Amino acid sequence: MLDNIDELVYIIPALIISFTVHEWAHAFVSYKLGDRTAKSDGRLSLNPLKHIDFLGFFSLIVFGFGWAKPVNINPDNYKNPIRDTSLVAAFGPISNFLMGLLGVLLCALCIRINASIYFIKFFSIFISYNVVLGVFNLFPIPPLDGSKILAGVLPINIYNKYLSLERFGFIIIFVLLILYPEVFDIIIDPVLNFYNTCLLKLI
């Protein structure tokens, strides 16, 4: 990402918004499903300071890999702990895909009305980072959201063993990013192309 240092003025706010909405979505859905833990922690807020982990954010800007503050939940407060935990996890990436669609609409509008190139550039980056964040978090590697979504489909005994990999999760992700980045590209690129196609059809 340092190759794009001149674009940091667009990248930083795009990432802040994307991370904030992603974590807020986890907190909001958890609260609606009966768990007040996130509310008690002050996470039912769109204030970025409640959600941004500054070390994780710095790492993302410099190395292209980072994290936000995880939203704490207590599945014991849910009516259906396994199903509801999956729903809470799913709504993080879903929020990013929706934000990406909002970015498509706003970018198309800016192009149609001949708005400043700066707005068009921002929304283009905003779309890309939301798509990447949404797809990346769906990878079934603990502690990413995708691993928690699996709770709804795996037998509980297998799932508990699977979650034991969480202490190695960041190592696995880091190794994949360094040695096999094409694994992520193969999945992310078609989704990003879909969003770009939608944008082209609107302008």
Instruction: Tell me whether residue 23 is one of the annotated catalytic residues.
Output: yes
Which tens digit of pLDDT belongs to each residue from 158-197?
877 887 788 888 888 888 888 888 888 899 999 999 999 9
Q: How far apart are CA 84 and CA 87, in angstroms?
A: 5
Q: How far apart are CA 200 and CA 52, in angstroms?
A: 33
Structure tokens at 124: 């283009």
Which tens digit of pLDDT belongs to each residue from 40-70?
999 999 999 999 999 999 988 888 788 999 9
Catalytic residue among 7, 23, 166, 182: 23
Domain segments of the chain: what residues?
A: 2-202
